[in-house]
Every structure is written in structure tokens, then in C-alpha cells.
Structure 1
Amino acid sequence: MTPLWFAIIGSLLVLMSLIGFAVTRWPVSPSMIYLFIGLILGPMGFGILEVDAVRDAEWLLVAFEITVLISLFSVGLKLRMPFSDRLWRLPLKLASLSMFFTIGCLVLLSHWLLNYSWPLAVLFGAIMAPTDPVLASDVQVREPGDKDRLRFAVTAEGGMNDGTAFPFVFLGLGLLGLHELGPDLSHWLARDVVWGIGGGLLVGAACGVGIGRLILWYRARREEPVGLEEFLSLGLIGLSYGLACMLHTLGFLAVLAAGIAMRRLESQGRQPLREQADVLDSESPQVAAPGHMLESVLTFNERFERIAEVGAVLLLGGLMSNGYFTMHGVIVAAVLMFVVRPASVFLVTPGSRTTMRQRWLISWFGVRGVGSLYYLMFAIHIGLRTPQAEALLPIVLTVVAASITLHGMSATPLMSLYARRHR
């Protein structure tokens, strides 16, 4: 990294620290600012940020991968509700039935409108179907235990479908000859769907529960129950993701499950610690250790997530500055946001105990972002041919940029209005 880049990134971070509070009240999201700066730093502007999606796919993949992993762990730590709670029913439907519906619609749209082959259309549908937990922070749960149905549904959906879309990415790659599917899709169903999803959740839950219990057991016997949460956060992300990938399961789901499992230990760990404490005070350090520890981990993770978001969206701006913008992408973005997404949400919301206002807001806040960029770089990295990559790039980048812009402009006023009326 050159001294110029140190100065640019340092200036951007200082700028955001100065205007960050004001941005929360404007119809502008921080991601919109990062995107604009990336555009003017790229070839379209000063030519400082030169990044090529095909040439630099390997390190772009790592950059987007780290950003998604940090965000997924944060999402898991925010989801405090037990699985027996009815709140989980809607996001589970959104991450499965709604996503399947969205993939099908995008396959048909890209085949007919963009003249993609059926295999490439399947890959495109899988890349664009999942909603994003990274760029939807304004709509996510504000604190662990938030029972608002809108916030909980958007948060949990963004965490889950970033993992459940992966088998369909493998399906598209397999149809293109880049992944083994087996006879009659048998390998894909057994390895990528059943074992990939189930194994990923098991690995992540085991890591979260095991490490969480070990840390609580150790810190309950110390005078200072909290410390070095950044090591715990990054360590658990790396451990759960690494083990899941080594076992050929879905690492994204493992990281999400690890965060959820650790958060569930808060309520499970308080009572035994309270019974062991010499003074039966709910605020004693030993008894309060689980909550304090997890809140510290979440605080660190959210701050790290914001920094990773800066880099990811700057890179998106740099890619867009290469001329990857097309009116076909605008059409796809409009159909996805105004037709497909609402239809997919209203398909599963009957009986969900959500108000009509909540359903419309859930249907609007289907943010597309860094998860889609990761899947695209993953496909390019493992061997997607350059003509196919060049066909996907302008559409995917245009849709993500349109989502950042429209959702960024609307998030603050819509959520402020929702909060006033809901209250």
C-alpha cells in the first residue's frame, strides 16, 4: 500500500468519524458515500483505484469474504430469541421459500431479457437472490432481545440466506462444468444441500457452545470477567469457518450458528453462575459475566464490521468506475426490488402476525450487497470463463449499486416514520 493510500483511507475514516452522527439523520447511508468515493477514485475519476474483477478476483474474494463473515457473526450475536419463539418462523420462510421463488424469477428474467444460457442464468439467480446483512444495519435489530417483527425478520433473513444460497451457486457452477454434481444431482443434494447446510449449522453451534462455555467457566472464576473480546470474536469466527470448510460444509452458516449459540449461552449461563455466586446479586461480576462478555464482543464486531464495509464498498465503487454499468442492470434491479421481492415476501407472510406496514417494509428492504459480490468473485476465482464473467459483472454490480443507493436514501426516513407510528 502506497503512502497516498494511507492518506486517502485515513482521511476517509476521519471524515466519517466527524460526520457519522449527522449521516444517521440524513437520507444518505455511509455506504452511499463510500460508493461515490470509490467511483471518483477509479478510472472514471482520478484513476487512483485500479481494480479488475477478473485479474484481481482472488484478493477481491478474500476482501468480500472477510466482510461477510464479520457481519454474519454480528447478526448471530443479535438474535437472542430461542428457536421456539414464533419470531423465527417468518425469517425461516424468507430464507427458504422466498429465496427459492426469487432464484426462479431471476433465472427466467436473465434468460429472456439478458440472453443468458440456462446454466449461467441459474448461477446469476443464486448470486443475486440472497439479501445482505452488511448493508442493512439501519434496519437490523437495535439490540439483542429486540422483538420487533420487521427488524428481526430482516436481520435473521440476511444472515441465513447468505448461506442457504450457496448450494444454488454450486448448482449453477456445476451446470457450467465447474463443480461436480453427480448422477441425477445426487452429489449436489447429499454434499452441498443436506450435509452443507446441516453440517455447517452443527459445526458452528458446537464451536459457539463449546468455546462459550469454556470462556464462561474460566471467567466466572476470575476477578475480572471481561477482557480481550476482540481475540474471542475473531478467534471464534476463524475457528468455526475454518472447521466448516475443512469438513466441506457451508462456512457462512457455521459462523452465523456460532454467534447464535454464544448469544443463547447468556440466558443459560446466568442462573448457574448466580447460584454459585457468594452474593446473590444479579449485577455481581460473576453473574453478569455472560451478558457483559457478549455485549463487548458484539460492540467490537460491529465496529470492525463498519471498517470492513468501508473497504468492500470502496472496491465496488472502483469496479463500477471501470464502466460496469448497464441499463439492463437497472431494469433487472427495478424488477427485482419492485416486483420479485414484494411477491416473494407476500408469498410467505400470511399467518405471520405482521402488520401490512411491516410486510411492505420487509418487501422493500431486501438489500443486495457484499454477499452477492462474494459469490460473483467466488465463481470467477474457481474458473468461470472470461466471456461469462464479463456478462455477469455489469448486471450484478449495477444491481448492487442501485440497491445501495435506493435503500440508503430510504432507510432513515422510512424507519423513522415506522418507529413513530409503531410506537
Structure 2
Amino acid sequence: MFETPSVAFVAAGAAVFAAAVLPRLLRRAPVSMPMVFLAAGALAFGLIDELPTPDPIAHREVAVHLTEVCVIISLMGAGLALDRPLGWRRWATTWRLLGIAMPLSILGLTLLGLWVLGLGLSAALLVGAALAPTDPVLASEVQVGEPADEQDEGGEDGEGSGPGSPLEREDELRFGLTSEAGLNDGLAFPFVYLAITLSLVGTSPAAWFPQWFAVDVLWRIAVGVLLGVGTGKLLAAVFFSSRFGRHRLAEHSEGFVALAATFLAYGAAEAVEGYGFVAVFVCAVTVRAAERTHGYHRVLHSYVEQLERLLTVVILVLLGGAISRGLLAEAGWRELAVALAVLLVVRPLAGWLGLAGGKTGPRERAATAFFGIRGIGSLYYLAYALGEGDFGATSDDLWAIVGLVVALSIVVHGVTTGPAMTLLDRYREREAARRFGDPGQAPNTAV
């Protein structure tokens, strides 16, 4: 009566329905949507033997492309959500997280891989590069919300410059983590390529440095930025330019165009050996900057957010299934110690040092440092690198440590995010009321 295909359809329908409902139900609870679907996947694949094993090693190509699509869609959503104009001072928190916290994280994780896990240099560097970036997918609970439109920006005078505008309400914690997640997934790629190169040619600087620095650092980053800006400006003209009149896409509220923008920016950059992750995020920020007050941004962001959530559900269920079928079989006490150190020591310490002297207050600084959530981007980097480099017979070990860190991050950050953000928001409101009298009309202040 209950055949596997029919049960699978029922399960898929229930999962999609849950993906729509759970984020709102669990918004401030010590349970997150990723936790629920990770557990559901582990339970389903643990109890139903007929389900095929979602082994990322045996099905590496599927793992690469599924995680790749999820990450680039998430990067588009992150870029479209940011209301703050680009600037060195305005984005100071972002530059600190990228320029200080991420390299320190890579260094710390590489040393843990060498000294505690006993990995070779290339494998240890791969672990460091894969686990260093804050994930743009699973960090949604601590990111900015949907983009503001003309009603939000304008207020009563229509100018959007007074106290309480979205630009001022976009607190430093959420902005910092969103912008960091948008850029560091691409900027960690040079270190992933370095790990691949070391695994193939050895550690002699003469063998790897010239090619790596010229191509993997300078060329790929520059091309990603330039094509992201170019694609973003071209699409912004199609979306908003008055020259297109009633044919401009912003007049038709077609949300799926965001997917076209994502694939165009990513494909164009990758075709000429640039970083597609960088191009997608820069494209989104460029489109957002072209016309900040138009309601079409919300349409685009809403579509991207829904698609990202569906893909996230699929990946988390498969990850839970892989864990229940033995993905972490090679993980012992050393791997557990390293995983806890990644989440509770390395990233928090690197983030705290990176933000020293910045515009965040002590509470926002601590929260920003702690909530460096690891996730689907790490899975992509590992799956990609294992197919490009020669890391020896360490695939099981590398998947064990990376899978363990991602799973623990989902649990640890899922339990703490809701309560911590609630406390920070309440404290910010009390501080605003104390300083300005009306928290709804007070500029954002560092906490």
C-alpha cells in the first residue's frame, strides 16, 4: 500500500511546507530550521533502508553542483538585502572580518589540522580554507532582513534621511555578518586553490607562488569584481532605466529574473577564470545600488530567499542522511576537539581581534565574532577540491572533520542564535530609549 515513491512525495511535500512555516515559528526559539531538517534527514535515512546512501564521496559531482547552486543563490540574496551604500568607512566591519578575521581563522585551522589531526600541509590548508568562511546560507538567522523600499526609505517627508530609516536601523551585527558571508565565500577561494596546488606540485615556493599569486589571487578576484559590476550595471539598466519605458522589468515584478542575474554573473566570471562567487555578490550589490528605493528589490529578494530555502532543505536532509549512514565514521575525539575549537575558540578569537577598535560595541563585537556559522559553502569547497587535487587517501578523514564542524555549527548556533539576537535587540531598544526617548526614531547605536 505504502510504496517508496508515494512516501517520498508525501515527505517532500511535508518538507516544503515545513520550510515555509518553520522560520517564522522558530524565529526566537532555541531551535533553528537547519537543525530540524538535519535531524529529519538523519532519522529518515537511518530508518528507511530502501533510501540510497547520499555519500558525497561516491557522488562528488552531485555534491559539488548542488552546493554550488545553493551558495550562489544565497549570495545574490545577501547582496540584494543590503541597504547600506558601499564605502570604506561604512563597510569597515566587513573589511576587518575579511582582512583580519578570515586569514587568522585559516591560519588557526591549518595549524590544528597539522598538529592535532596529523594532516599533511595541503590537506590541513584545505580544511582551514573550507571552514574559515561564514556561510551565506545557514547564517540567515543573523543576517539583515528584506531590502527596504520607497515606503521604508521615505518616511513622512519622503527623504529617507531622518532617524529611524532602514539605513540607520541596519545594526552592525547583522550587516557585518551578511556582508562578510557575501564576500568571504569568494575570497577564501585563493586558499582553496593554494591547497590544491600544494597537493599537486609540492611546497617549494618557486613551484607554486608565481602562478598562484598572479592567477588565483590577482586575476580571478579582479575578474570577479569587474564582471560583477558590469553585469550588475547592465541588469540594473534593464530593470530600472526609463529608456525601456513600460518594458523595463521592474514594472512587471518578475521575481525569477533574480535567478537569471545569478547565473549570468556566475557563468560570465567562471568562463574567463574569475571567481563566480565574488561576481554574484558584487552584481547583487551593484543592482541594489542602482535604484535603492524601488519595491522591485523586495520581489527579487523574496524569490531568491524562497529558492534558497528549498535548496537548503534538500542539502540538509541529504547531509543528515550521510551522517546517519557513516559520514562521520572516521571522526574520533581528536576531530571532536578540533571541531569544538573551530566554533568556540578559533573563529570567536579571530573575530574579536579583527573587530578590535572598530565601530561595534562590546556585545555586538562578541556576537559577530561568535556567530561565524559554518555550512554549505564549506561542503562545496571540500567536494570541489577533492576532485581537483591529490590529497592522498584522506577523503574520508576530511569529510569527517568538515561534516562534523558543519553539523555542530548547525546545532550550537541554532540553539544560541534566537535567544542571543532577542537579548541584543532588547538591549539596543533600551539603550535607544534611554538616549533618545523613542527607540523607533533613534539611530542605531553600537552595543
Structure-2-length-normalised TM-score: 0.85
Q: 1:11 to 1:178 in 2, by over 3 A?
A: farther
| 1:25 aligns to 2:31 (yes or no) | no
Equivalent residues of 1:133, 1:155 under 8 A apart? yes
Q: 1:179 to 1:96 in 2, by over 3 A?
A: farther
Partner of residue 315, structure 2: 312
Task: Kindly report which structure 2 residues correspond to 1:6-25, keeping only aligned pairs within 5 A, or say none.
Answer: 6-25=9-28
| 1:162 aligns to 2:162 (yes or no) | no
Q: Which amino acid aligns with 2:280?
A: V
Q: 1:230 aligns with which of 250, 255, 258?
A: 255
SS of match in other structure, 2:95: helix
Aligned length: 400
Deviation (angstroms), 1:212: 0.8
SS of match in other structure, 2:28: coil
Equivalent residues of 1:70, 1:237 under 8 A apart? yes
Q: 1:18 to 1:76 in 2, by over 3 A?
A: closer
Equivalent residues of 1:28, 1:408 under 8 A apart? yes
Q: 1:421 aligns with which of 390, 409, 427?
A: 427
SS of match in other structure, 1:87: coil
Q: 1:305 to 1:179 in 2, by over 3 A?
A: farther
SS of match in other structure, 2:359: coil
Partner of residue 243, structure 1: 268
Separation (CA, whole Å) in 1 of partners of 2:418 and 2:67: 25
Question: Unaligned stretches of 5+ in structure 1?
Answer: 268-289
Separation (CA, whole Å) in 2 of partners of 1:303 and 1:170: 32
Separation (CA, whole Å) in 2 of partners of 1:339 and 1:117: 22
Deviation (angstroms), 1:174: 0.6
Q: 1:83 aligns with which of 86, 111, 114?
A: 86
Separation (CA, whole Å) in 1 of partners of 2:172 and 2:39: 33
Q: Which amino acid aligns with 1:342?
A: P
Equivalent residues of 1:49, 1:318 under 8 A apart? no
Deviation (angstroms), 1:294: 1.4
Task: Kindly report which structure 2 residues correspond to 1:239-388, keeping only aligned pairs within 5 A, or say none.
Answer: 239-267=264-292, 291-325=294-328, 326=331, 327-382=333-388, 384=390, 387-388=393-394
C-alpha offsets along residues 50-75 of structure 1, whole Å, 9 cap, x if unaligned?
11121100011111011101100011
Partner of residue 435, structure 2: none
Separation (CA, whole Å) in 2 of partners of 1:316 and 1:53: 9
Q: Which amino acid aligns with 1:34?
A: F
Separation (CA, whole Å) in 1 of partners of 2:122 and 2:392: 15
Equivalent residues of 2:64, 2:383 under 8 A apart? yes
Separation (CA, whole Å) in 2 of partners of 1:214 and 1:263: 13
Deviation (angstroms), 1:223: 8.3
Separation (CA, whole Å) in 2 of partners of 1:20 and 1:79: 20
Separation (CA, whole Å) in 2 of partners of 1:216 and 1:55: 46
Q: 2:222 aligns with which of 169, 191, 198?
A: 198
Deviation (angstroms), 1:228: 5.1
Q: Which amino acid aligns with 2:219?
A: W
Separation (CA, whole Å) in 1 of partners of 2:97 and 2:297: 27
Separation (CA, whole Å) in 2 of partners of 1:393 and 1:238: 28
Equivalent residues of 1:107, 1:121 under 8 A apart? yes
Partner of residue 200, structure 2: 177
Partner of residue 97, structure 2: 94
Equivalent residues of 1:196, 1:250 under 8 A apart? yes
Deviation (angstroms), 1:384: 4.3
Deviation (angstroms), 1:364: 1.0
Point out the more displaced range, 11-20 or 363-372. Answer: 11-20
Q: Which amino acid aligns with 1:356?
A: P
Q: Which amino acid aligns with 1:306?
A: R
Equivalent residues of 1:61, 1:377 under 8 A apart? yes
Q: 1:189 to 1:152 in 2, by over 3 A?
A: same
Percent of pairs with identical residues: 34
Q: 1:49 to 1:329 in 2, by over 3 A?
A: farther
Q: 1:121 to 1:414 in 2, by over 3 A?
A: same
Point out the more displaced range, 80-89 or 126-135. Answer: 80-89
SS of match in other structure, 1:257: helix
Separation (CA, whole Å) in 1 of partners of 2:79 and 2:201: 32
Q: 1:54 to 1:19 in 2, by over 3 A?
A: closer
Separation (CA, whole Å) in 1 of partners of 2:352 and 2:130: 22
Separation (CA, whole Å) in 1 of partners of 2:92 and 2:188: 18
Separation (CA, whole Å) in 2 of partners of 1:185 and 1:94: 25
Point out the more displaced range, 97-106 or 4-13. Answer: 4-13
Detail structure 1 runs of 4+ shifted over 4 Å in the superposition.
178-182, 383-386
Q: Which amino acid aligns with 2:131?
A: M
Deviation (angstroms), 1:30: 0.5
Partner of residue 175, structure 2: 152
Partner of residue 397, structure 1: 403
Question: Unaligned stretches of 5+ in structure 2?
Answer: 148-166, 430-447
Equivalent residues of 1:87, 1:153 under 8 A apart? no
Equivalent residues of 1:330, 1:402 under 8 A apart? no
Q: 2:414 aligns with which of 378, 385, 408?
A: 408
Partner of residue 286, structure 1: none
Deviation (angstroms), 1:19: 4.6
Deviation (angstroms), 1:204: 0.7
Over the residues paired in the alignment, what is the CA RMSD in angstroms? 2.2
Q: Which amino acid aligns with 2:266?
A: Y
Q: Which amino acid aligns with 2:313?
A: V
Deviation (angstroms), 1:87: 3.1
SS of match in other structure, 2:360: coil
Equivalent residues of 1:329, 1:396 under 8 A apart? no
SS of match in other structure, 1:177: helix
Partner of residue 74, structure 1: 77
C-alpha offsets along residues 364-404 of structure 1, whole Å, 9 cap, x if unaligned?
10100000000011022335456221120110000000000
Separation (CA, whole Å) in 2 of partners of 1:156 and 1:17: 25
Partner of residue 45, structure 1: 47
Point out the more displaced range, 157-166 or 345-354. Answer: 345-354
